[in-house]
Amino acid sequence: MIDEDVKKQLAKIAGTIRQLSMEAVQKADSGHPGMPMGCAELGAYLYGVLLQHNPKNPKWVNRDRLVLSAGHGSMWLYSCLHLSGFALSLDDIKQFRQLHSITPGHPEYGVTAGVEATTGPLGQGIANAVGMALGLKMLASKFNREGFPLFDSKVYCIGGDGCFMEGVSSEASSLAGHLQINNLVLIHDANNICLDGPLAECMSENTKMRYQAYGWDTYDCDGYDFDQMDAIFSEIRQHQTKPVLITLRTVIGKGSPHKAGTHKAHGSPLGAEEVAETKELLGLPKEEFCVPQSVRSYFEQRLPKDSALEAQWNEMFSKWAQQYPDAAAEYDKMQKLHLPDDLEHILKNLEIKASIASRASSGACLQKLGHILPQLYGGSADLSGSDLTMMKEFPIVTAANFNARNIKYGVREFAMAAIASGLSLTGMIQPFCGTFLTFSDYMRNAIRLAALSPYHVIYQFTHDSIFLGEDGPTHQPIEQLASLRAIPHLHVIRPADSHEVKMAWLAALRYKGPTALVLSRQNLPDLNETNVPYDEGMGRGAYIVKKEKGRPDFTLFATGSELSLAMEVARNLEKLGRHVRVISMPCWALFEKQPEVYKHQVVDGDLGVRVSIEAASELGWHKYIGRDGIAICMEGFGHSAPATALAQEYGFTVDAIIERLLPVSRRT
């Protein structure tokens, strides 16, 4: 039971959350006041009583984490963060949704202290929270010792009715139940209202029973009863054995005399008159953005206790490090996401047999990297035998064993990508995940948020073109390369052979954002010309692999499996008296970051007829080959057939390309 005086303070805190939230939305003339007002008591309890964290050090590794999946309710989170002592001022609250403020419309990781994940598109925060909780379980299994619970925190996540309708939440929750992740608490803001109207107009399932079927424990809670909240959350803190769903019964826009309980409180300001009436009805101060001194004092008194929690943990950590120096050394590497200084040399000297698929050479790199990078954890969407993402000498994560580094995500691509983002957010795990390139469409929104944030996630996409063959056009990617390249800050790398694959992994590990490695199913020959230092090849994004002998008649741009084809075309054109430059362009994004003088040396000037060769959509290539350049590409979907037959059908052969190029040569 909570002390009566504390309950009175929590009620005042809840009133302040309501006031700050509705006034900030009103001032911005934009936003969602309903969720913050409906969940104000929850915010007061979580930040005023339950959460074990330190607002003065938001990155304390063993903090409880709170993810707001219902990101449209961001003013709830900003109000809670401001009141509890995070680096978010009242002036920041007043700048809600304004240009360059740290209170954007939906929470963004890295922008606002205390925001644990970038949430907006509904449901993804749930999957992010699953990833965080899974990551912390794996870290606990690796580092905790008897008497030294380095990792024993909880991950709390708040989702609205919309989050539970989005499929990604189902995928992620299913996996969490399968693995019995018992440090995850999902709070369902069950107000039975969505943006368009009552929830009953579009949803009638029993969400609680669905989660029971997933293998979760479930609770019902009155969203305005502090004693009931405390009883449930205290029970979970002490005795949780499974992931937990709490159905929190709330009223959207609670306190608003004319809009509470309706969709009118969901996605637009209440209106100045309604705000004034709400404040009068609830007995809130007339002064705008007012925080009562008693509320300030409550959290000021709590802050030393929060700091003391971390101080106690630091003392325990020091004793643990002295007693387990080897584990402490590995902890330090993981915390720094350490990469050996000689990593390029290690990868360069990794023995990989020639003429294998780039998925296979990438798999070989993973086997090596797994041993030298303890932070590397990965998994696949039921395709590890095909995308070759399994680190063979490490176990698979199960409900009985979290001291493992391979995750079987099942056929849950969207959740896999969002969970991988959550793993990255632990700060000590370098996640990778794999599937076929065409299925990147399922993952796209999670990849987009990883690029926006950014999160350090590596996506291994295999079966990268029509040359995967007989599975046919449903599985043959055409537009996916262009689609992924369109995402800002995502490095899309399509390596040509094992030499470029090795350096692609170096690029992905060094880059502090997301990378998509795009790999072949079919075998590829190794090229001597790609066996160059990182800073002269892959690190540049594009580089000349064959220099012309005179003024070029043709310049061939290629990536991946088509680079060896381009080299063969160039040799045959030279036999016909033509001068040809060949450029390997595995990563456009890296190339665009190069100094202008380097870019000019590679792609500018009189280069003759410019030709791109890539078994995918031509979209984007004309930036490099010009309006009049020739794109050897796919102009439609493929067919089900062997790769050799497809190459003939779509003109990806030496003879077909030369036949197309010779008529446009400047020399006949």
Cα–Cα distance list, 180 to 95, 290, 399 (Å)? 41, 44, 6
Q: In the sheet that 376-380 helps form, which strands lie side by side, from edge to edge? A: 406-408, 376-380, 430-436, 458-462, 515-518, 491-493
Q: 557 - beta bridge partners?
A: 583, 612
> Which residues are catalytic, by number?
413
Amino acid at the residue 503: M
Of the candidates 235, 236, 242, the one whose C-alpha atom is nearest the C-alpha of residue 217 is 242
The one-letter code for the residue type at 77 is: L
Dist CA 414 CA 444 (whole Å): 8
Among 462, 455, 463, 531, CA closest to 490: 455
Give, in degrees to the nearest 5, the angle at Cα 404 between 498 and 179: 120
Give the whole-angstrom CA distance, residue 441 versus residue 421: 17
- Which residue from 581, 484, 496, 481 is spatially nearest to 538, judged by alpha carbons? 496
- Tokens at 432, concatenated: 């990778």
Query: Could you give the C-alpha distances from 613 to 119, 122, 561, 588, 625, in angstroms and in order?
Result: 38, 39, 10, 14, 11
> Helix 293-323 to helix 325-336 angle, to the nearest 10 degrees?
130
CA–CA dist 647, 356 (Å, integer): 18
CB burial string 488-515: b at 16+ within 10 A, e below: eebbbbbbbbbbbbbbbbbbbbebebbb
